[in-house]
Structures are given as C-alpha cells and as structure tokens.
Amino acid sequence: MRAVWLITGALFCSTTAALAQASVDWMSKETGMWQAVKDKRIDAFSAGLDSSFVGVYAEGLHNRDTEISQVRPANLREFHLSDFTVHRLGPQVVLLTYKVVVNAESGGKDLSGTYWVASVWQMRGQQWRTVMHTESKAP
C-alpha cells in the first residue's frame, strides 16, 4: 500500500509541475526580460536570472554578475521576437528558441541586427528563472 501512495504522490507532483509549466506564457516571460533591459529596469532583469546563470556568446561565457554588468550600459531602443518555439525538456525545465531583431548599442558599438536565440528556464523554488541564454547573430 505504501508503494501505491508513493507512486500516486510522484505522479501528482509530476502532473502538478507539468500543469504549472503549461500555464506559463513563455513568450511574455521572455519578452519581459527584453523589456526590462529596454526600460533600464536592471533589478527586474536580475530577478529573472538564476544564481547559476550561464550566458554563451562570441566573446565568451558570462556568469550572472557578468551578464548584468554587460546589460547595464546597453541602450536597447527596439526589439521584436518571432519564430518562437517552446521545447519542454522536463517538468521543471524549458528551452525557448526564437529570432530577435534589435536596434541597440552599447559603449558606442552598434549591436543592431537579427539574432537567433536560445534561453533555458528552470523552476527554482516557486519561481521560473533563466539558467542559460545564448545569442548568435544571423548572417
């Protein structure tokens, strides 16, 4: 009987996590991170990054602190997300892939263009947080 309760409990937890994942508007969540950068709301942006965050870019790897310091001086004038796909990797992990067109600069360097993006979000406690993000400029 105990085994039945353990299995039932595991199924319930798995179903609850899957339902929580299904109820998330992932495009809005990801757009919110971009909007926080555009609006210079660094606290809101930082709150969406997990302490274990890793960014993968042409110039190298970023941890959470490096990511925040790189985003802080950026001037994101416009952005548009499209071709958005949600890949459910597990009950508490989601991979988002999409294209973003940006009009931006940072430190006098023009960053405008089209990028292919991947973000991994994971449930941490009761919050979804970004644990990995990468961007590759389209040719």
- Would residue 60 count as lying in a domain? yes
Walk along the chain (139 residues) in steps of 10 and give the mean pLDDT of each run: 47 47 86 98 98 97 98 98 98 98 97 98 96 97
For residue 124, the domain's CATH number is 3.10.450.50
- Would residue 48 count as lying in a domain? yes
Q: What is the pTM of this model?
A: 0.83
**Cβ-contact 97, 40 below 8 angstroms:** no
Per the structure, the complete domain to which residue 74 belongs is given by 25-137
- Would residue 72 count as lying in a domain? yes
- Would residue 10 count as lying in a domain? no
Count of domains forming the chain: 1
- Would residue 82 count as lying in a domain? yes
- Would residue 62 count as lying in a domain? yes
